[in-house]
Amino acid sequence: MRLSYPSNVKVVKVPCTGRVDVLLILRAFESGVDGVYVAGCLEGECHFLRGNLRARRRVEYVKGLLEEVGLGGDRLEMFNMSASQGQRFAQFAQEMTERIRLLGPLPVRKAPGNG
């Protein structure tokens, strides 16, 4: 298909979105990324039956945490697509990139000695 998607999107491969846990998402934000989205298989088509459904619940949970912290839940999203829907993959990458551009970079103020 040779589709292109924004080069700012960094893909982290996991065997199934069921592997994506709360800490993994938080650590991504801590490492300084401005947004995270989880790309799961279509609902009802998980090889492990419920991996993508569980991932969605965790995404919802972490959205709540991001709201609490004041970073906003919109910086995180879950999308579903099948392995053959390269078009949708590129489209979501575009959509998310635009959304995060509007939100701006993750608010981080420089302070000396932050660990």
Give the total of residues touching other proteins (CB under 8 A). Answer: 22
In a 3-state reduction of DSSP, which class is residue 39?
strand
Q: Which residues inside 42-81 make contact with other proteins, applying CB under 8 A?
A: 65-66, 68-71
Contact 56, 40 (CB under 8 A): yes
Q: Rounded to the nearest 10 degrees, how much is the dihedral formed by the CA atoms of 46, 28, 106, 53?
A: 20
Pairing of strands 76-80, 36-40: parallel
Task: Between 55 and 66, name the residue whose CB sits nearer to other proteins.
Answer: 66
User: For other proteins, which residue of 8, 12, 27, 44 counts as binding (CB under 8 A)?
Assistant: 27
Can you say whether the dihedral through the CA atoms of 76, 80, 84, 90 is positive or negative? negative
Kindly list the distances between the CA atom of residue 41 and the CA atoms of 1, 16, 47, 112, in Å, as whole numbers in the listed order: 19, 8, 9, 42
User: For other proteins, which residue of 3, 8, 12, 30 counts as binding (CB under 8 A)?
Assistant: 30
Task: Between 4 and 31, name the residue whose CB sits nearer to other proteins.
Answer: 31
The reply on whether position 104 binds other proteins by CB under 8 A is no
Q: Which stretch binds other proteins (CB under 8 A): 11-19, 24-32, 79-87, 90-98?
A: 24-32
- Residues contributing to the site for other proteins (CB under 8 A): 22-23, 26-27, 29-30, 65-66, 68-71, 106-115
